[in-house]
Copies of this chain bind each other. A is one copy, B any other.
Amino acid sequence: MKYRIDNLQYCNWSRDIFQINREANLDAVHATVVYHEDFDEFIQRTKEWDKFFTENSDLIFLGRSFKDIEKANSEKKTAIFFGFQNCSPIEDNIALVEKVYEYGCRFMQLTYNNQSLLATGCYEKNDSGVTNFGREAIKEMNRVGIVVDMSHSAEKSTFDAIEISDKPIAITHANPSFWYKAIRNKSNDLLKTLSNSGGMLGLSLYPHHLKDGSNCTLENFCTMVAKTVEIMGAKNIGIGSDLCINHPDSVVEWMRNGTWTKSKNYGEGSKNKPGFPKQPDWFLDARGFNNLERGLKKIGFNEDELNGILGNNWYNFYKGIN
């Protein structure tokens, strides 16, 4: 088997994007459908996706389990798996966990940068870990089959989630902090614990997570992958590109500010660079997977390892979700 999976994209979805993802031979994409939306707003997002699925049925369909990755592969389509960057759609209601699952959700971050009802985000000053409601929610996510995603969470909360969850968790899009000390990147300790528990790290191609940002070289990135494999092994690493293609800058402003602040928050950006950063020229969109393949080969990965990192590891992880 040779699957190609990008386990995090949040593009300004259009037929163009779906075509590009097919050109990149992506069998599956974990697509962010919600940042700050509540339950009703999430349902609206699913209706927009229904339209995408109808109008682009030659390219995409809604993914519900690992079998849809196999189906996509044989039909030369891309299975779209829904995910949330925040837990806002379940509001304060444990019963909504099952509801959002029914509507297709397969990944849910417990937090997006700030404190949520479930855990602490990476941009808070203090991290109290997974909350009372968080423990209940993780149990319920385990039961129905939604992956706990801690990409934007603070460290203690992430350790807690690994411990509390009966199923392996994921960090769908982040990089190791030994390589680049972005607030969101993860410590070696955390990556080891993640890997030992069967959890997955999706390596990010978002410039704010890359050494040298938009100027990061393919070689530098692939060297980082090799070092990360030394820490985590080669089976628990995949790609979660965090591609945010074709969005106006107002979208990143909304991602960061939601409706929680009257002053401006720049998140990973800054007052002088508030917008989306420019992608590295070797990963302008998902077709950059071909460059990754070349780069990883060059650095010395064998076929098995390479296919694992570019998709098979995620495929195996999906097998354990339900």
Contacts and interface: CB of A to CB of B under 8 A. Distances in A.
Interface of A: 36, 38, 88, 91-95, 114-117, 120, 123-129, 131-134, 136, 139-140, 258-263, 265
Contacts of A93: 259-260
A88 B94 CA distance: 15
Contact of A124 (B36, B92, B132, B265): B132
A114 B131 contact: yes
A133 B117 contact: no
Contacts of A133: 114-115, 260-261
A57 to B, nearest CB: 35
Q: Which 3 A-B pairs have the closest CB atoms?
A: A128-B128, A126-B128, A115-B131
Contact of A260 (B92, B260, B262): B92
B94 A259 contact: yes
A115 B140 contact: no
B115 A128 contact: yes
Contact of A91 (B38, B116, B262): B38
A261 B126 CA distance: 25
A258 B262 CA distance: 29
A140 B36 contact: no
A318 B128 CA distance: 34
A157 to B, nearest CB: 10
Contacts of A140: 262
A161 to B, nearest CB: 14
Q: Determine which residue in A92, A117, A120, A127 has the highest number of CB atoms from chain B within 10 A of its CB, and name it.
A: A92
B258 A136 contact: no
A154 to B, nearest CB: 9
Most chain B CB atoms below 10 A, which of A114, A120, A132: A132
A116 B115 CA distance: 8
14 contacts: A92-B259, A93-B260, A94-B260, A95-B259, A114-B132, A115-B128, A115-B132, A115-B134, A120-B128, A124-B132, A125-B128, A132-B265, A136-B261, A140-B262
A257 to B, nearest CB: 10
B132 A92 contact: no
Contacts of A134: 115
A187 B183 CA distance: 35
A94 B136 CA distance: 27
B114 A115 contact: no
B129 A126 contact: yes
Contact of A128 (B127, B136, B259): B127
A36 B91 CA distance: 11
A259 B265 CA distance: 31
A258 B90 CA distance: 13
A36 B92 contact: yes
A38 to B, nearest CB: 7
* Centre residue among A94, A124, A260, A265 by max chain B CB count within 10 A: A260
Nearest to A134: B115
A128 to B, nearest CB: 4
A131 B131 CA distance: 14
